[in-house]
């Protein structure tokens, strides 16, 4: 729910968080 609220406030901020979490998941799969 918080992500939806943040998205409505700062879409670019959520885009950055999504990119970071995606990179972290990629790191997890590579390791």
- Higher-confidence residue of 16 and 1: namely 16
Give residue-wise pLDDT tens across range 2-31. Answer: 666 655 667 676 677 888 889 988 888 876
Please give the angle made by the CA atoms of 17, 8 and 26, to the nearest 5 degrees: 20
| Single pTM value for the model | 0.42
Which segments of 1-31 does DSSP mark as H helices, in order?
2-9, 11-30
Q: Would you say 14 and 7 are in contact if contact means Cβ atoms under 8 Å apart?
A: yes
Q: What local confidence, expressed as pLDDT, does residue 28 receive?
A: 85
Q: What local confidence, expressed as pLDDT, does residue 15 receive?
A: 78
Would you say residue 1 has pLDDT above 60? no
List C-alpha distances in Å: 3 to 10, 12, 20, 27: 10, 12, 14, 22
Cβ-proximal residues to 27 (8 Å cutoff; 6+ apart), any chain: none
């Amino acid at each position: 729910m918080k992500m939806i609220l943040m998205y409505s406030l700062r879409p670019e901020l959520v885009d950055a968080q999504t990119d970071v979490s995606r990179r972290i998941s990629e790191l997890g799969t590579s390791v």
